[in-house]
Amino acid sequence: MKKDRDTTKAWKEVHLMELALYADTITQDYDIWRKRQVNSQEVSSTNYTFQNPFLEEMPSELEITRHEFERIRVKLLRDISSLQEENYQLKIDVQIKKSQTVKIQREVEIVRNDLRDLHLENKKLRSTIKNSGLAKSSVEWKEEIRNIIGGMEFWKGKAKKEEEKAARAMIELRKKNAEYETVTAEFVTSQSERQELRRKIQDLENILQSHLDDSLEITRLKMDDHDVQDKYRSLEERHKAIEGTEAFSALSAKEFSLVPDLVLPPKFKVPDFEKYDGTRCLKTHLVMSCWKMTGYVNEDKLLIHCF
186 φ/ψ angles, rounded to the nearest 5 degrees: -65, -40
Can you give the pLDDT at residue 66? 83
On whether residue 161 sits in a domain, the answer given is yes
Domain count, the chain: 3
Q: Which parts of the chain fold into alpha helices (H)?
A: 2-25, 28-51, 61-132, 138-189, 191-243, 282-294, 300-306
Residues 62 and 91 in one domain: yes
Domain that residue 83 falls in: 2-125
On whether residue 135 sits in a domain, the answer given is no
Residues 63 and 95 in one domain: yes
pLDDT in tens, 62-86: 788 888 888 888 888 888 888 888 8
Higher pLDDT: 242 or 9? It is: 9
On whether residue 132 sits in a domain, the answer given is no
Q: What global pTM score does this model have?
A: 0.24
Q: Does residue 301 surpass a pLDDT of 70?
A: no
| Chain centroid, CA 95 distance in Å | 53
Can you give the pLDDT at residue 43? 46
pLDDT in tens, 163-200: 888 888 888 888 877 877 777 777 667 676 767 767 77
pLDDT in tens, 15-68: 555 555 555 555 666 666 767 776 665 444 444 444 454 445 566 777 888 888
Can you give the pLDDT at residue 290? 72
Can you give the pLDDT at residue 148? 86
The helix/strand/coil state of 242 is helix
